Amino acid sequence: MVLDVLGLSRRESAAYRALVSMASAAPAELAGQVGGDEGEAAHLLGVLEGKGLAARSVGDIARFVASPPATAFGALLLQRQNELRLAELELGSLTELYRAASAGRGVAEVVDVIVGAAALRQRLEQLQLGARSEVMTFVKAPVAIISGAENTAEDAAVARGVRYRVLLERTMLDEDVDIDGLVAARNAGEEIRMTERLPLKLFIVDREIAIVPLIRSSDVATTGALLVHESGLLDALIALFELEWAAAMEVTTSTDDFSGTGVDDLDVQILTLLLTGLTDQAVAGHLRTSLRTVQRRVRRLMDLARVQTRMQLGYQAARRGWLAGEAAHR
């Protein structure tokens, strides 16, 4: 990994590692260690020599010895550090220029158009990788650009501490989202809520820029999106998100926040899915269990809550804190 970061290819890294472990090596001997033929090994040794990572043996110029790692890479590390400092300065300068230009945008420049699925996918990835504090998103069917499993940029952003608030339309449970994905996302730190219907797809990053995908069919060839910069329109989209978020039901998948109640993770997941409007049969399908198990669990929860109807059960579940998110709303 260190060698890759310092600009060596995988083959060059392998050659240097092999050479470090040997007193000296001729091309044929190195080829035996890293694979390939003698000619390729000779080329790799030449590359390493050119980068100061290898030198000819004093006793036999046909043989090579590795330069000491601390000495060889000290200069490369210093060079990379200087390059990073210069990149940071350039980034700061570009950011200031961008903000100044954004402040002077005219009406026609508030919204840009993204054309094509590939361009939209690339822009979504760029925005997530560059997110600093928060991503807010409406997710509704159809999934035509990038699925949750493919969105590795989201995982990377969450891992470095970016807050993700994801509002799902209930139909996503039938298309792209399963209970395992919800559990994994919640465990990673994402906040997830669900609602019956969303007015549009929406993606907002750091409250500074938004993407509104325009997809009317499954034909990704005609896919496009609006890229909305800071403006009254962006403020309206943020307000729309907050309004829908406040009215949605939080998805709870575990009892970590309220253990000791006699309710386990499966109970919580059953309650959460039932409260989204799914039937017992649909809940059983999503949880990969039997209809009998779902009904038995619901009956036990009703007994535990001392209620007679499912409507009463939903109220008592929120009141007793069995659904952590619902309890937090009160």
pLDDT at 145 over 50: yes
**Per-residue pLDDT at 135:** 94
**Per-residue pLDDT at 329:** 44
pLDDT at 1 over 50: no
Q: Which of 86-90, 123-127, 153-157, 245-249 has the lowest mean pLDDT?
A: 86-90
pLDDT at 188 over 70: yes
Q: Which helix (H) or strand (E) holds 166?
A: strand 163-169
Read off the pLDDT of residues 50-108 as tens digits, 9 standing for 90 and up: 877 888 887 788 899 888 776 666 666 776 777 778 777 777 767 666 665 555 555 45
Q: Quote the mean pLDDT of the chain.
A: 80
Q: How confident is the model at residue 211 (pLDDT cuts 50, 70, 90)?
A: very high
For 329, the token pair is 């709303």
**Per-residue pLDDT at 330:** 41
**Per-residue pLDDT at 176:** 65
Distance (Å, whole) CA 78 – CA 85 = 11
Q: What is the mean pLDDT of residues 194-217?
A: 85
Distance (Å, whole) CA 21 – CA 113 = 55
Q: What is the mean pLDDT of residues 194-214?
A: 89
pTM (2 decimals)? Answer: 0.57
Kindly report the number of other CB atoms within 10 A of residue 37's CB atom: 11
Q: How confident is the model at residue 328 (pLDDT cuts 50, 70, 90)?
A: very low
For residue 53, what are the contacts with CB-CB under 8 A and spacing of at least 6? 16, 66, 67, 72
Label the pairing between strands 191-195 and 163-169.
Answer: parallel
